Structure 1
Amino acid sequence: MLSRDQVLHVARLARLELSEEEIERFSGELSKVLDYVETIEELGGLDDVPPTSHVVDVENALRADEPRPSIPVERALESAPDAAQGGFRVPSPGAA
């Protein structure tokens, strides 16, 4: 298990201020992470294993992105409180 000083060192690197309870909790959690890393290292050479982001193949479930007609600009701006130059006019940031 990571020592209190090791947890505080990691917290200092991450610019975190931890309570006593968090120091205890992170000591156990960080130790588990390091245990997992050791387990992976025990597997040996994984150079021939391609990197993956998913354990199964994922296909794009979205429709094809093809242009199609939309509503006319005039109709889109009918309910705009303040339309200008073919678009919506909004106050600039910081304006009251």
Structure 2
Amino acid sequence: MELTKEIIDQLANLARLEFKEADTIQIKDDLAKMISFVEKLQEIDTEGVEPMLHMTDQMDVVRNDELKGSMDRVDAIALAPDADSQYFFVPKVIKK
């Protein structure tokens, strides 16, 4: 497949990407490598190979829900490093 500037511009537009003209050469090389890899994969004989959706036969392996006790508010707040009678106080992590 021939990669042209128009194809790269169209892909960038579809992906809502903007990049400098100088980056186009690197992107073109990277896309060419990806396409080459996919073309090599198409050469592999997969006759008689069952398609796989998952790596193992196990599906949805989760534990059963179990009702367990919990700590009441008074005990939890007593253990907190910074709290009042109702709320935990935590450091601000998002600055506006």
**TM over 0.5, yes or no?**
yes
Residue number in structure 2 paired with 1:16: 17
Structure 2: tracts of 5 or more residues without a match: 57-63, 90-96
* C-alpha separation in 1, matches of 2:25 and 2:19: 10
Question: Which deviations, in whole Å up to 9, do the C-alpha atoms of 1:21-61 show, x marking residues without a partner?
Answer: 2211110001111111101111133662442666xx7xxxx
Cα distance per residue 1:50-84 (max 9 Å; x no partner): 42666xx7xxxxxx98665554432102242350x
Structure 1 unpaired stretches of 5+: 58-63, 91-96
SS in structure 2 at match of 1:77:
helix
TM-score (norm: length of structure 2): 0.58
Is 2:80 the counterpart of 1:77?
A: no
Q: How many aligned residue pairs are there?
A: 83
- Indicate the percent of aligned positions where both proteins have the same amino acid: 24
RMSD between aligned alpha carbons?
A: 3.6
In the other structure, the counterpart of 2:52 is: 51
Residues 18 and 47 of structure 1, relative CA distance in 2, 3 Å threshold: farther
Alignment CA distance shift 1:12-1:21 (3 Å)? same
Give the aligned residue type for 1:9: Q
Sort the Cα spacing of 1:24 and 1:47 in 2 relative to 1 into closer, same or farther, 3 A.
farther
Higher strand share: 1
Please give the TM-score of this superposition, normalised by the length of structure 1. Answer: 0.58
Give the 3 Å change call, closer, same or farther, for CA 53–89 of structure 1 in structure 2: same
SS at the partner of 1:18? coil
Compare relative contact order (CA 8 Å, sep 6+) and give the higher one, 1 or 2. Answer: 1
Moved more, 17-26 or 67-76: 67-76
